[in-house]
Chains A and B, each alone.
Chain A
Amino acid sequence: MSAVFVWIETFNGKAISSSWEALGAAKELAAAWSVPVTALVFGEHASALASEAAAYGADKVIVCEDATLVGFRLEPYAALVSKLVQEYAPKAVLAIGTARGRELLAAAAADTNAGLLTEVSSLEAQPDGALKAVRPVYSGKVLSEAVGTAGAVQFVALRGRAFKAQQPDAAAQAEVVSMPPVLAEADIATKIERFEEEVGTVNLTDAAIIVSGGRAMANNPADAPTGVADAAVWKAQDGFQNTLQPLADTLGAAIGASRAAVDAGYIPYAHQVGQTGKTVAPDLYIACGISGAIQHQAGMRTSKVIVAINKDAEAPIFKLARYGLVGDLYKIVPALTAELKKRLGK
């Protein structure tokens, strides 16, 4: 019987939590079509992860555990998905649209000449079997409603935090099928030399709460030590570390930044939110000293609740915010951190 496939992304042998959101979305489609959900788990500890996939609602799990699949590489992973799609002709193939998820689905869709919709924030099975999806276009200024093809395999890469994972049921069972890899190491051109993991930081795109800093991070009242090359850069870096980070730690939040802060060298590019950075959609976005240029808005406008802290009451960020606080972030943020510690019992 035809099924809904969902790829469970893993990192260092663990499933990334947003994969369960994709499984949740797959369950809903499968229910509408009365078909089972098959989870695809590849790489380190894939067999061990199968029971976790079952707990989150998979009816069947196809696992492939092989040395060639340790660490995601497009060639061997896409070869597996393409082969499975050709063999089983699923109704749909879902994944969370992370960096890896998007390229994996795109490659497999190209290999099988199937349709793909990415950055999907809502998804609906039409009675004829076609999928209807809503996705942002033009830097999130406009929405597009797109439709797949009924009767063909439809690939969908979902936006993170747009779909709900099911409550895991530890007693749930799934049929587990093991398969061999498609490509041998000699057939894979790409070799991973090393991975420098950013340990201890919360992933921006997964984060439920983001604390972001902008150009005004340089207004740190702390004195830069004598001899530093650029006092403004030192002050801003110190502010990210000793003013924003404690707030983020209290909230379990990730640290974001505006392009202005990144370009000025206050914080690495990996933290940039906005048009040429990351697109995020947390429950809570706290913008500290960010004016809210249109480029920044492109990356965060779908956040559920936006709090803006800025000295300039006319800053465009206040037009987007739910709560606005006019004042010095270096006075307000420490007060907010202290209050949260008290109220959250930390």
Chain B
Amino acid sequence: MHVVVFTRSTPDTTAKVEVSAAGAVTWGDAATVVNPWDEYALEEAIVQAKNAGGKTTVISIGAEMHNESLKHSLAMGLDEAVRVWDGALENSDSLAYATTAAAAVQKVGAVDLVIFGKESVDVGTDQHIYQTARKLGWTMLSYVSKILAVDYAAKTIKVERLLEQGKQVVTSSLPAVISVMKDINEPRYPSFIGIRKASKAVIPVWSLADLGVTLPAAQTRVARFMNLPPREGKVEMIEGSPEEMAVKLVDRLLEEKVL
């Protein structure tokens, strides 16, 4: 049994992210962290592999800064890490990502389960996850909040999914791509020994030639990044007794026409 999990490095959550004069996104000297949703994916990969006596591989598609997320993954206890990078992936879109990710899973070989965190906070989307499943031709199970049962021999999986209107329980077939939500587990912290081992790890880099893929032409491109418009006005503090505050606030909210 083999689980592949995808991750990326994203700017530290508390970092001030802004657009530089040159139009690039920058977060100054702030560190990067594992994409916050991926911590749950990494933990689940470790748990699933342990339960089945299997193996884990973590993959990041991206430039050198993504080694940080791979080292964190190794420190948590993932078995192998691979980075996929090629100049042709620069400024590419989700179709290119999915094509590359699917080829990387095929190269790992005999994979039963691919796990993603619900979305990537840097690119602000989850589309690459579903597209990876389609490019693999595998089942896609998104928003998984619990893996209820999995049978690698019979190639079946049963999960609970968290949707807008409630919880859904579905069964499906393996191999599958799943995306996981926060309440699926509690991610472990990397151990001291894990961190030491990870710091010495040499992470192999696969190129598109190694994967034997050609990218589809990009269908979308980023024209520019923009800073947020400044928030209008300052906070108006409403004072008085609770009852007085309530009267004043309701006056304001009626004026704002938001009730």
Establish whether residues A327 and B131, one from each chain, have CB atoms under 8 Å apart when the complex forms. no
How distant is the Cα of A118 from the Cα of B127 in the complex, in angstroms?
Answer: 8
Which of A111, A148, A294 lies in contact with B13, CB distance below 8 A? A294
Asked, given contacts A106-B127, A141-B18, whether A113 binds B140 with beta carbons under 8 Å apart, the answer is no
Interface of A is mostly: mixed
B22 located at the interface, meaning its Cβ lies under 8 Å from any Cβ of chain A in the complex: no
Establish whether residues A114 and B222, one from each chain, have CB atoms under 8 Å apart when the complex forms. no
Establish whether residues B171 and A190, one from each chain, have CB atoms under 8 Å apart when the complex forms. yes
Per-residue 0/1 for B192-235: is the Cβ within 8 Å of any A Cβ (1 yes, 0 no)? 00000000000000000000000010111111111110010101
Establish whether residues A110 and B131, one from each chain, have CB atoms under 8 Å apart when the complex forms. yes
Of the 9-residue stretches B53-61, B72-80, B161-169, which lies at the interface with chain A? B161-169
Per-residue 0/1 for A189-232: is the Cβ within 8 Å of any B Cβ (1 yes, 0 no)? 11111111110000111101100000000000000000000000
Q: Which residues of A contact B107 (CB under 8 A)?
A: none
Interface of B is mostly: mixed
How distant is the Cα of A332 from the Cα of B172 in the complex, in angstroms?
Answer: 49
How distant is the Cα of A269 from the Cα of B128 in the complex, in angstroms?
Answer: 24
Establish whether residues B247 and A142, one from each chain, have CB atoms under 8 Å apart when the complex forms. no
Establish whether residues A143 and B225, one from each chain, have CB atoms under 8 Å apart when the complex forms. yes
Q: Which residues of B contact A336 (CB under 8 A)?
A: 242, 245-246, 249-250
Sorting the interface of chain B by its residue count into under 10, 10 to 19, 20 to 34 or 35 or more gives 35 or more
Per-residue 0/1 for B122-146: is the Cβ within 8 Å of any A Cβ (1 yes, 0 no)? 1111111111011100011111010
Establish whether residues A325 and B238, one from each chain, have CB atoms under 8 Å apart when the complex forms. yes
How distant is the Cα of A184 from the Cα of B133 in the complex, in angstroms?
Answer: 20
- Enumerate A175-193 residues with CB–CB distance to B below 8 Å: 189-193
Q: How far is the CB of A30 from chain B (nearest CB, A)?
A: 21
**A136, A189, A205, A344 — most chain B CB neighbours (10 Å):** A189
Which of B95, B221, B226, B243 lies in contact with A335, CB distance below 8 A? B243
Per-residue 0/1 for B45-83: is the Cβ within 8 Å of any A Cβ (1 yes, 0 no)? 000000000000000000000000000000000000000
How distant is the Cα of A119 from the Cα of B126 in the complex, in angstroms?
Answer: 10
Q: Which B-chain residue is minimally distant from A272 (CB atoms)?
A: B182
**B131, B242, B252 — most chain A CB neighbours (10 Å):** B242
B237 located at the interface, meaning its Cβ lies under 8 Å from any Cβ of chain A in the complex: yes
Q: Which residues of B contact A73 (CB under 8 A)?
A: 170
Q: Which B-chain residue is minimally distant from A134 (CB atoms)?
A: B226
Where the two chains meet, the residues of B that have a C-beta atom closer than 8 Å to any C-beta of A are 10-11, 13-14, 16-19, 25, 36-37, 93-95, 98, 121-131, 133-135, 139-143, 145, 158, 162-173, 181-183, 216, 218-228, 231, 233, 235-239, 242-243, 245-247, 249-250, 252-254, 256, 258-259
* 9 residue pairs bridging A and B, Cβ less than 8 Å apart: A135-B125, A138-B122, A146-B222, A149-B219, A149-B220, A203-B165, A269-B182, A295-B13, A339-B249
Where the two chains meet, the residues of A that have a C-beta atom closer than 8 Å to any C-beta of B are 11, 73-75, 78, 98-100, 102-103, 105-107, 109-111, 113-119, 132, 134-149, 152, 154, 157, 189-198, 203-206, 208-209, 251, 269-270, 272, 275-277, 283-284, 294-295, 298, 304-305, 307-308, 318-328, 331-332, 334-336, 338-340, 343-344
